Structure 1
Amino acid sequence: MFKRYEWMIAWRYLRARRSEGGISVMTWISLIGIALAVFALIATLAVRAGFRYEFVGTIVGANPHVSVYSYGETLPDGRLTRTISNYDALADALAQVPGVTSAMPVVEGQVMATANGRNAGVQVIGVSLEDLRRVELVANPEESAGSLDDFESGIALGAVLARELGVTAGDRVRLISPDGQKTPMGTSPRIKVYDVAYVFRVGRYDIDRIRVYMPFEEAQLYFNRTGVADQVHVVTTDPESVDMLAPAIAAAAGVGSYLFTWKDNAGAFLRALQMEDNIMFVILSILVLIATLNITSGLVMLVKNKGRDIGILRTMGLTEGTVLRVFFLCGASIGVIGTAIGVVLGCLFAVYIDPIFSFVNWMAGGGVWDPSVRFISALPARLELGDVLSAVALSLTLSFVVTIFPARRAARMNPVEALRYE
């Protein structure tokens, strides 16, 4: 498409000194502007992808992908209960659904935990040791203390909760439930002391702060759930496709049951992230557009300074198309080189974000990142091919488009007018 001499002329114009009528300074400004804009776009997209990956990873790694509940049944005394009595059979039926890796019955409740004169409201989940090993981020956490093998003789706590209570593995925690033993004087709170067998950190603050795991049979006794479970937690092979599996899971659960997926639970987070993604992409696209407009200003100056050269080239037989391609190559080359530099810088930022952020945190005196506000323990970044390609496509497209106008202006220049006063 482009002849060799067209590349030669374009390259000669790009590297010309200002004394020769070139625009080398404007060339560098345009190139640096595009590189920085593409770098900012890729870095932002990488952090955005990292946020979503970490959010989803901690949600599906420490929570069920689907929770199966019962609509409830009326007991002989007239009370309505939503517990599941045939939980073992239901779990076996759910585990047979294609795409389901495990189904575990659980007992769940909210109580108060106290130790060393400190109190905290916690969420207690009763689950068997075998099923707890299938909770990926609990079985393989960021940090841990104690041993999961000792779980059946105690309880497991989130790391932030353990720190707030001032305990670690081997210490004791008192759990207080308002729904305790029924006596002639009314219901008395149930108070029981448990050994801390295991402390885990999954990396999500709202889980590490309130989550307590208790052996399933002990939880049945503690919460007055003898012979029943509150729900069945289902884990799938592909959490992102959980909506496609929902009909099959509902059919296996049978009449009288309903589902609640992780997307239902985290819908607000996902929608907020998606909205932020769209807004940031639009804003940074404007930044890339502003950077590419420097190419237009530089080429307009180049065309004005090279008017005599254009007139001579036209009288030598060069066509309008040739002149257009020469100046298009000038602008497009700046866009391509600037984009390439920006891609390299953006990818390096995503790869080395931890030391970079540690340096920023050190320069700011610490405290830049608060996991209690952002829910995850570190600034994430994740390079995705689609994000890099979208940034490259946007930058190159804008670079090529803004180059067309000054290139056409050069091509349509009348050689007689260009040489009249030479």
Structure 2
Amino acid sequence: MAATPPPFARFEWMIAWRYLRARRAEGGVSVMTWISLIGITLAVFALIATLAVRAGFRAEFVDTILGANAHVTVYSIGRVDERTGRIDRSIPDYQAMADRIRDVDGVTRVAPLIKGQVMANRGTYNAGIEVYGIAADDLKTIPRIVNAETGLGDISRFGEGIAIGSGVARELGVTVGDKIKVISPNGVKTAFGTSPRVKAYEVVYVFSAGRYDIDRVRVYMPFVEAQQYFNRDDTADELEVMVKVPEAIDALQLDLLRAGGNGTQLWTWRDASGGFLRALDIEDNVMFVIMAILVLIAAMNIVSGLIMLVKNKGRDIGILRTMGLTEGAVLRVFFICGSLTGMVGTAAGVLFGCLFAYYIDPIFGLVNWMSGGQAWDASIRGIYHLPAKLQAGDVATAMALSLGLSFVVTIFPARRAARMNPVEALRYE
């Protein structure tokens, strides 16, 4: 007795390959095969490109947050000033508090800050700015601010002037070596009231943090100079704290509160940007669902192509069945036809998607040039370029989704072919 051939035997692959290559005149559906193949390729390409841009945008956004801002800011609840009746939130013992917080396990840096919102002027140009008073040694440890590749000027001269964001420099039309006036409405108190304080500072450093909203308003001033300018005698407004693992900041909050003492408040980077990050999560999920539907629509083209193939090959199926081919063998033949289309389309889509993510900068540069430089507005999107981060998990997800859908939708027309009655198929032949 002859041995039963194993599933997916060589002859099954041979028949399936012949059907895929068949011309329309021979009863094949090569045009539908190409349409299915191109559809799967474009769908997988779009899915991988979307996942890469999504991951890149999140990584860039979080990196600019953690690289240019405090991981957690320590405030004082405040006390009522008996002279003015206002709440004074300054920290008089900021050095002692900074030393206590610096001893907390996981903290890498603590920097006292003076903060104030004022106006900058150069000639006929004005800009609203936010001044950060900080010590020179502390400023040099902020990676997104002090960066030799993006910065302009000599940061070692910080004690002689101020460091401004690239957006502020562009707004005022200044560069390193120029002087700007810093104007505060809360200045010197005289017998006739409070007169604005105006002081000129040399720009010694221009930084680019990678975020439009930071570069557009932020200015760094030496800590002692900021104390004098904003009338903060021997006090600090807040403490800027950096930690080893920013994602685990919630676990450090209790220790930081204890080290800060009574009347301490914390504001973490998650508190500052949590709403935007949650919005990104919702957008990510919605985009993934939309792209998955796109892949499903592309996979449905395989079904229509296979149904036409089964209809055209009814005579062949009847002959093969009378020759002894089992229902399982017929099912596998047409399953191979559909799954091969899905696999080739998925492989091509993965290739193009990975190439798009890898070469996104020149591609985006071309699109931006063709659109006249209006393809990306940093003032709206916050960052200066379209980022992409290719992750193995995203590529694997796209491949699994595409292959899974391709295999599933192929089963139904393949079963129809397998259950075809050979007598009915050959009755009118």
TM-score using structure 1 length: 0.96
Partner of 1:329: 336
Residues 175-223 of structure 1, C-alpha deviation per residue, up to 9 Å, x if partnerless? 1111222223222221111111111112211111100000111111111
Question: What displacement does 1:141 show?
Answer: 6.0
- In structure 1, the partner of 2:57 is 51
Q: Which among 74, 87, 97 is matched to residue 90 of structure 1? A: 97
Instruction: Note if 1:125 corresponds to 2:132.
Output: yes
Give a deviation string over 1:307-338, Cα, whole Å, max 9, x none: 12222222222222222122111111111110
SS of the residue 2:22 aligns to: coil
State which of 27, 33, 58 in structure 2 corresponds to 1:27: 33
Structure 2: any 5+ residue segments left out of the alignment? 1-6
Q: 1:328–1:407: 8 Å Cα contact kept in structure 2? A: yes
Equivalent pairs: percent with the same residue? 64
User: Paired residue for 2:17, among 5, 11, 18?
Assistant: 11
Q: Does 1:173 align with 2:173?
A: no
Note if contact 1:141-1:201 (Cα within 8 Å) is conserved in structure 2.
no
Q: Which amino acid aligns with 1:132?
A: L
Aligned position for 2:377:
370
SS class of match (1:122): strand
Alpha-carbon distance in 2 for matches of 1:353, 1:6: 42
Which of 119-128 and 136-145 deviates more? 136-145
2:251 partner SS:
helix
Cα distance in 2 between the residues matched to 1:241 and 1:326? 54
Aligned residues: 422
1:62 partnered with 2:65: no
Q: Which stretch of structure 1 is more off in the superposition, 38-47 or 141-150?
A: 141-150
Within 2, Cα distance between the matches of 1:141 and 1:336? 46
CA distance 1:293–1:421, shift in 2 (3 Å): same
Gaps of 5+ in 1: none
Alpha-carbon distance between aligned partners in 1 of 2:187 and 2:148, rounded to the nearest angstrom? 33
Q: How much does 1:341 deviate?
A: 0.3
Write out per-residue CA displacement over residues 255-303 of structure 1, whole angstroms, 9 at most, x where no aligned residue: 3111111121112321222222122222222211111110000000111
Q: In the alignment, is the contact (CA less than 8 A) between 1:11 and 1:330 conserved in 2? A: yes
Q: Give the conservation status (yes or no) of the 8 Å contact 1:142–1:203.
A: no
Deviates more, 1:253-262 or 1:103-112: 253-262
Q: CA deviation at 1:247?
A: 3.1
Q: State how far apart, in whole Å, the 2-side matches of 1:420 and 1:252 are.
A: 90
**Alignment partners' CA distance in 1, 2:30 and 2:259:** 70
* Residues 119-198 of structure 1 aligned to structure 2 (within 5 Å): 119-140=126-147, 143-198=150-205
One of 238, 243, 257 as aligned partner of 1:236: 243
Instruction: Note if 1:204 corresponds to 2:204.
Output: no
Matches within 5 A, 1:211-250: 211-250=218-257
C-alpha RMSD of the superposition: 1.6
> Any idea what SS the aligned residue of 1:277 has?
helix
Aligned-partner Cα distance in 1 for 2:87–2:362: 56
Structure 2 residue aligned with 1:382:
389
Distance of aligned partners of 1:47 and 1:418 in 2 relative to their CA distance in 1, 3 Å threshold: same
Report deviation, 1:365. Answer: 2.7
Q: Does 2:310 match 1:303?
A: yes
| 1:375-414 aligned within 5 A | 375-414=382-421
Distance of 1:10 and 1:252 partners within structure 2: 72
Which 4+ runs in 1 deviate beyond 3 A?
Answer: 74-79
2:298 to 284, 287, 291: 291
Q: How far 1:101 moved relative to its partner?
A: 1.6
1:105 aligns with 112
Structure 2 counterpart of 1:62, one-letter code: A
Offset, 1:79: 4.8
1:29–1:160 distance in 2 versus 1, CA, 3 Å: same
